[in-house]
Amino acid sequence: MEHLKALIRDVPDFPSRGIMFRDVTPLLRDPGAFAEVIGALAARYRDQGIDAVAGIESRGFLFGAPLAMALGVGFIPIRKIGKLPGEKVSREYALEYGTNTLEMHVDAARPGERVLLLDDLLATGGTAAAAAALLQDVGATVAEIAFVVELLFLQGRQALAPHPVHSLLTY
Ligand code: PRP
Ligand code: ADE
């Protein structure tokens, strides 16, 4: 996995002073690396009874949609406030560098469905915790929460307990 880590660019002081931004755009630009990431996640979740993949806007869409296709299931967009047209559930949250609100259509997942939640990166866990809460608000089961990158020092897994968490690359 070190060769994948080499494709994540460190950008100091973005989007604000003191934040070391882990930029996945070089990884996305490399077709072999991008396919390897999706393949590794698909291998883990194939045959796990996953009914849908939910991705968090916007970087979670970049990995979540191809993963859903690889698993042969549908994709649920969990979006930033004001973007979804239908009836929706909302949750406010704080992340490493700000606050925001996530929304999901109420009919995006049915009660009892097993949904894999996916995002590019786990920092404080605030974003993913809000997304998991939205899935639970409509009665879905969060099968696992998966990330391409996990920033261990921020202990985001604690904010996501008791959901199982998986990450491919750690810092
Ligand atoms: C980033 C990242 C995660 C979140 C992680 O999203 O893609 O969703 O921050 O931070 P947390 O664990 O502290 O909550 P961002 O809000 O920057 O949006 P983007 O995907 O549109 O770039
Ligand atoms: N989202 C939250 N913290 C981040 C970081 N340090 N790098 C990239 N995305 C992030």
| pLDDT tens-place string over residues 1-21 | 789 999 999 999 999 999 999
Å from CA of 127 to ligand 1 middle: 6
What are the catalytic residues?
59, 96
Q: Using a 6 Å cutoff on CB, does residue 171 contact ligand 2?
A: no
* pTM, to two decimals: 0.98
CATH number, residue 82: 3.40.50.2020
Report which ligand 2 atom has the smallest distance to the Cα of 151: 6
Tokens representing 105?
């259509």
Q: Using a 6 Å cutoff on CB, does residue 20 contact ligand 2?
A: yes
Is 66:73 a contact under the CB 8 Å cutoff?
no
- The parent domain of residue 70 ranges over 49-170
Q: What is the mean pLDDT of residues 54-68?
A: 98
Q: pLDDT value at position 150?
A: 98
Q: What is the mean pLDDT of residues 35-64?
A: 98
Q: What is the mean pLDDT of residues 146-154?
A: 98
Q: pLDDT value at position 2?
A: 84
Q: How many domains does the chain have?
A: 1
